[in-house]
Amino acid sequence: MAELAPTISSQQEKAQKVSAIQEKLKTAKVAIVTEYRGLSVAQMTRLRRQIRQASGEYQVVKNTLLRRALKDTAYGALDRLLQGPTGWVLGYEDPVSLSKALVKFIEENEKLTIKGGWLDGEFMDQAKVKALAQMPSRPELQAKLLALIQAPAVQLLRLLQEPGARVARLVEALRKGKESEQS
């Protein structure tokens, strides 16, 4: 009987972990599966910090728990990637900036590899995740869109100001001409 109590609480803990993972998956916009074999503790800490700065998180969870958590979720197709030491990157805001942070870390630490990912109902292999990192981030796109929206107004303003500017240049030229005649 003494052995049954730890098993029950252990099963409850596992069920709680599975439900916690499922909740995170519901709010995540992107999930990327990595293999972290050979990374030191310091490297893992740096990776987690960089991912956190990109509005994401990096977790290492047992594959069996992840398989349970992936059932009946949009991320179920990632089940096939759960082999070996698996780390999960979950992004909650901008998938592009998150993938940029991950790819940048991988360029500096070749021991971390991308197995695949899931974004907007579509499976991404390693090449697609790297291609996502090449795209402009949300703030960059917003800045470009704002510039495009403002461009006609700026051109109109220049057009409206040009006659006044021409008159001012003409008056200035006349003033300089009269000063040179008087000298």
Q: Does 3.30.70.1730 match the CATH number of domain 4-135?
A: yes
CB 70 within 8 A of CB 79: yes
- pTM equals 0.70
**Token output for 18:** 């599975």
**Token output for 6:** 């730890």
What is the spatial distance between Cα 128 and Cα 81, in angstroms, rounded to a whole number? 15
pLDDT at 132 exceeding the cut of 80 = yes
Sign of the dihedral through C-alpha 77, 107, 91, 128 = negative
What is the spatial distance between Cα 22 and Cα 148, in angstroms, rounded to a whole number? 40
pLDDT at 4 exceeding the cut of 50 = no
Q: Considering the chain, what percentage of its residues have pLDDT values greater than 70?
A: 95
